[in-house]
């Protein structure tokens, strides 16, 4: 969730995307989330509560949260927040605790942010990572999610490079179902990308529904002028990259299509589809290596991706379910 990319023309830089300080990401529950911890370090040998605090955990932050949470280590840093592995003292479990950057927290204000994040807390779906808690402590705004000990889709792609069409759709279908449910509840994700698709016991889980909705609503139209990014270059829709705030389901459709394309080809598309590409249902300007893999995926799947990635909203696939169908 960092970096920048312009959206004025027909092409865009698709490679300036952020990864966590560990090269991966994670979040809460039983495996990764918004910033995740490599599996090799998923289980610590130390007891659930250890009084040692690593140097990269601010002492004032730990002091503010100490009554409820013990911070263990940094799982990842993004353009809006830092994620920590923490021990929940009350429930004796490990969680992922996300703390907004001080400048963003000051801009939003605790009351507005906490009011808006309640919407995300009401989302209950088997493929959406739950929101355990949220609050303000010592001037810090935070929210808490399950800690998931497992690979994110980003890590799977780093290992496998690309996936078969069948495998890609098996991952994308539950993600689309989660998005459709959230859309019916009035919540857009706005930051679908491989880092935010986690795996719990082999099942895909969409992470980080909370922050984009709460921040975008609490921040309002002025948020884009603060320098805090909502969305990730290369994955956000053209209208989102242009700074528009009146978004609908099609912005998530676009991002999901980018993720599916990357699963099939091994990297995101190099450019937006042209009008002719949308008419023909074929990526006419794909490179030779992309063309080979798109052909392997089949014309039906390629056509679905072209329409889901259309720049013009009136040409884009309307819903995540329609993309998968």
Q: Which of 56, 88, 133, 191 is catalytic?
A: 191
Exposure class string for 198-218: b at 16+ Cβ within 10 A, else e: bbbeeebbbbbbbbbbbbbbb
> Counting Cβ atoms within 10 Å, is residue 91 exposed (0-12), middle (13-18) or buried (19+)?
exposed
Cα 187 from Cα 177, distance rounded (Å): 13
- Active site annotation includes 246: no
- Is the torsion defined by CA of 166, 168, 169, 171 positive or negative? positive
* Strand partners for 118: none
Q: Distance between CA 209 and CA 144 in Å, rounded? A: 12
**CB-based contact 176:256 (threshold 8 Å):** yes
Task: Show which residues are catalytic.
Answer: 191
């Amino acid at each position: 969730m960092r970096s920048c990319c312009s959206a004025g023309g027909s092409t865009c830089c698709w490679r300036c995307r952020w990864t966590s300080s560990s090269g991966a990401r994670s979040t809460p529950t039983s495996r990764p989330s918004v910033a995740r911890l490599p599996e090799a370090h998923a289980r610590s040998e130390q007891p659930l509560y250890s009084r040692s605090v690593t140097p990269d955990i601010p002492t004032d932050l730990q002091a503010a949260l100490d009554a409820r949470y013990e911070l263990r280590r940094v799982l990842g840093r993004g353009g809006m927040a830092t994620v920590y592995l923490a021990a929940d003292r009350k429930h004796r479990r490990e969680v992922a605790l996300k703390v907004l950057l001080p400048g963003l927290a000051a801009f939003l204000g605790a009351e507005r942010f906490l009011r808006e994040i309640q919407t995300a807390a009401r989302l209950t779906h088997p493929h959406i990572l739950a929101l355990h808690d949220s609050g303000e402590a010592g001037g810090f705004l935070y929210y808490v999610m399950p800690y998931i000990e497992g690979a994110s889709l980003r890590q799977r792609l780093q290992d496998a490079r690309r996936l078969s069409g069948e495998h890609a759709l098996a991952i994308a279908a539950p993600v689309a179902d989660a998005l459709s449910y959230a859309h019916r509840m009035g919540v857009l994700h706005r930051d679908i990308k491989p880092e935010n698709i986690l795996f719990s016991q082999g099942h895909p889980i969409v992470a980080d529904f909370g922050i984009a909705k709460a921040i975008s609503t609490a921040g309002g139209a002025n948020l884009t002028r603060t320098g805090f990014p909502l969305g990730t270059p290369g994955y956000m829709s053209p209208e989102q990259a242009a700074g528009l705030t009146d978004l609908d389901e099609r912005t998530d459709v676009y991002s999901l299509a980018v993720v599916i394309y990357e699963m099939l080809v091994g990297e995101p598309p190099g450019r937006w589809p042209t009008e002719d590409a949308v008419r023909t249902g074929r990526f006419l300007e794909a490179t030779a290596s992309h063309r080979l893999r798109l052909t392997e995926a089949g014309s039906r799947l390629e056509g679905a991706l072209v329409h889901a990635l259309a720049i013009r909203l009136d040409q884009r696939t309307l819903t995540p379910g329609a993309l998968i169908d």
